[in-house]
Structure 1
Amino acid sequence: MTQGEAPPRPTRSRPTMREVAALAGVAIKTVSRVFNGVPTVDPAIVTRVREAADQLGYRPNLTASSLRRGDGRTATIGMLVEDAANPFSAALARTVENVARARGVLVLVGSVDENPVRERELAQALIDRRVDGLVIVPAGLDQSYLISEQRSGTRMVFVDREAGLLDADAVVSDNRQGAITAVEHLLKAGHRRIAYLGDRASIPTAAQRFDGYRHALEVAHVAYDPEIVLHVGSSEAAAIAATQELLALPNPPTALFTSQNLVTIGVLRALRSAGRQDTVAHVGFDDFPLADILNPGISVIAQDVEQLGRAAAEALFRRLDGDESPTCTVTVPTRLIERGSGEIPAQDHRRG
């Protein structure tokens, strides 16, 4: 096709069920029964119908089939994540997809970008497409806009964060305890000036991790210093600038706790640029690819993403299967992975 030339128009419409029936030599109703999985159809006829469909390139209209069956099911679920490009979100979505695929269910994924308006728009778009249920990592603090849909029968489970102003199942990590473990680990290495760099404090997971940071310092009788606490959002660039600001202080921190993986990556870039990766201790919250092959390796508080995704998907399918038990929140433990950066001993970096 040359530049400026219109793309070719389709030469014909999609193959129809009537054409499959004619090629297979059966009734249209028989074709419908085959693709709806009716078990009483003769296996030889099933084979004949499917071979005819393959020859014609026919694909059943699952939405239309669900309406004809009368149960309203479309064999699809929707999933909203923070950012599908983020390793954590990608791994979470893949785990939900694996569970759904085993049941013959398709997952439609959208990124909310920590934007409550976008969350609401995407959730409504998925509902309009008649998904059977929703798995949501919420961006906002108010999910009451889903109450009417919930009452209408749409099943939903929240993952990573609980829903706000909505009674719904949730699967979350133990964010507060994970942060406590990270800071206690740095304290054991002799650090007393431990900086915090995290996502916006308005985000529930970030607030829980920040609370864990403060609690660990309080228990250790280490004074809280707001000068070395920065809520930088989830931008690598902002994390780089924040780290440079911390390193330039007259009394800079000897250790860093970063509460989000993109923040961790930004901090790593800044430390390496300053040649300080071997002298400033660092523990990040969330594992990420290649963290184990850096020098030093990056010590992290790892979430069990597979367990989070699997538990959320299984909870949703239990509801779709008719479970009417009271809603509940499942908390998944985190674990410390020691790789070297979190074990760097304390050194005095004060400027003379």
Structure 2
Amino acid sequence: MEDEPTLDKAPRRATMKDVAARAGVGLSTVSRVVSGKGGVAAAKVRAVEKAVRELNFSRNDSAHTLRTGSSATVGMVVTNISDPFFSALIKGVEERARERDLVVLVTSVTDAADEAERVIRRLLRRSLDGLILVAPEGSDLGFLQEQTGTPVVFVDQPPSDHVTADLVLVDNEGGAVSAVEHLYGAGHRRIACFAHESGRYTSVRREAGYYQALRRLGLPSDRALVVSVEDDVNVCAEALLELSRLPDPPTAIFSTNGRTTRALLGAQRLLGSRLALVGFDDFDLAELMDPPTTTIAQDPVAIGAAAADLLLSRIDGRSGPTQRIILGTRLVERGSGELPPHHD
């Protein structure tokens, strides 16, 4: 009778005990080398590393989490991962995490508050070491107060009043003031403000900076010059047409975010308009526009790094009151704000 076929058994996964036997060292030595800790002689480090390669050893992170209480993973939630600002923000967090041999688990959510709440709750079930949040406005995140073992840092906009956490912002008002003052210095006295509808916190703060600059410069505040728009070329074109019909139309525009600025550039091209323009947020190809686009630049990589530093300090045991970091902006002059005022 023929032998019955047998299934090959999968090769057994190498353990730290196997590595220790192959390297001729103790288990504690292997643990220190694998965890990146110091205090091990160079010869033993080389022996362990050689055994790890030969045995194709990889650390069992689930067991490591149970043993140490650390998952070596931080979570991050952003509202629009395709936006270059958030891509750079993630880069800043990842650079800091890489220095600590941590993994960043990133997820993107829409502006729907209930979706963000569900995603954040699911992330917290993954035993993260910490969490960095760019949460949609209106999200009910009061449950975060119950997560006493998971440090949280908010970025770009503060949490609601019933959530206490570290926070990293940019000087939205100051950046807007710089934009309006730059246009004023170029001779403009009728300056419109295109405020983005999404992300109301930043939009409101930058619009407040616009009004602050008008008061500082002695210019009248004309509500007809302030429009709230979607980041859409056709919507911006319609708004520009309405502004052009005013008895005293604007000669310049301050735009409150990068997506709105890009939509405005498309709208101006569509209409053949040449209004001066300064936009909040720098963006790729701004210098290749005609004319090159002047912007108020923030540094999203630095923002991400600052948020990561706050989170890592909490993970390391920092206690005490929450910290609020506000980073500055800078004016990048390229020419679009320098156009001479147009008169009918």
Task: Report the TM-score range of the alignment, normalised by the length of the smaller protein.
Answer: 0.7 to 0.9
Taking the TM superposition and a 5 Å limit, the aligned residue runs for 1:143-222 are 143-149=141-147, 151=148, 153-165=149-161, 166-200=163-197, 203-222=200-219
* Contact 2:14-2:56 at 8 Å conserved across structures: no
Q: TM-score normalised to the size of structure 2?
A: 0.86
Deviations 1:56-113 (A, max 9, x none): 43321223212113xx111111111222211111111101111111111111111223
Partner of 1:124: 121
Relative distance call for 1:25 and 1:300 in structure 2 (3 A) is: same
Number of matched residues?
331
* Contact 2:227-2:239 at 8 Å conserved across structures: no
Relative distance call for 1:287 and 1:38 in structure 2 (3 A) is: closer
Letter in 1 for 2:210: Y
2:329 maps to 1:334: yes
2:239 maps to 1:245: yes
* Contact 2:136-2:199 at 8 Å conserved across structures: no
2:320 maps to 1:325: yes
Deviates more, 1:43-52 or 1:319-328: 43-52
Letter in 1 for 2:278: V
* Contact 2:90-2:301 at 8 Å conserved across structures: no
* Contact 1:132-1:155 at 8 Å conserved across structures: yes
2:84 maps to 1:90: no
Secondary structure at the aligned position of 1:323 is classed as: coil
Deviations 1:166-187 (A, max 9, x none): 1111111010111122122222
Deviates more, 1:91-100 or 1:216-225: 216-225
Partner of 2:132: 135
CA distance in structure 1 between the partners assigned to 2:11 and 2:202 by the alignment: 49
CA distance in structure 2 between the partners assigned to 1:220 and 1:28 by the alignment: 71
* Contact 2:133-2:152 at 8 Å conserved across structures: yes
CA distance in structure 2 between the partners assigned to 1:127 and 1:175 by the alignment: 30
Letter in 1 for 2:160: G
Secondary structure at the aligned position of 1:79 is classed as: strand
**Deviation of 1:326 (Å):** 1.3
**Deviation of 1:128 (Å):** 1.3
Secondary structure at the aligned position of 1:109 is classed as: strand
Unaligned runs of 5+ in 2: 1-7
Q: Which runs of 4+ in 1 moved over 6 A?
A: 25-30
* Contact 1:191-1:255 at 8 Å conserved across structures: yes
CA distance in structure 1 between the partners assigned to 2:198 and 2:46 by the alignment: 58
Deviates more, 1:194-203 or 1:33-42: 33-42
Relative distance call for 1:270 and 1:65 in structure 2 (3 A) is: same
**Deviation of 1:47 (Å):** 3.2
2:338 maps to 1:347: no
Q: TM-score normalised to the size of structure 1?
A: 0.84
Give the alignment partner of residue 291 of structure 2, picking from 292, 296, 300: 296
Partner of 1:5: none
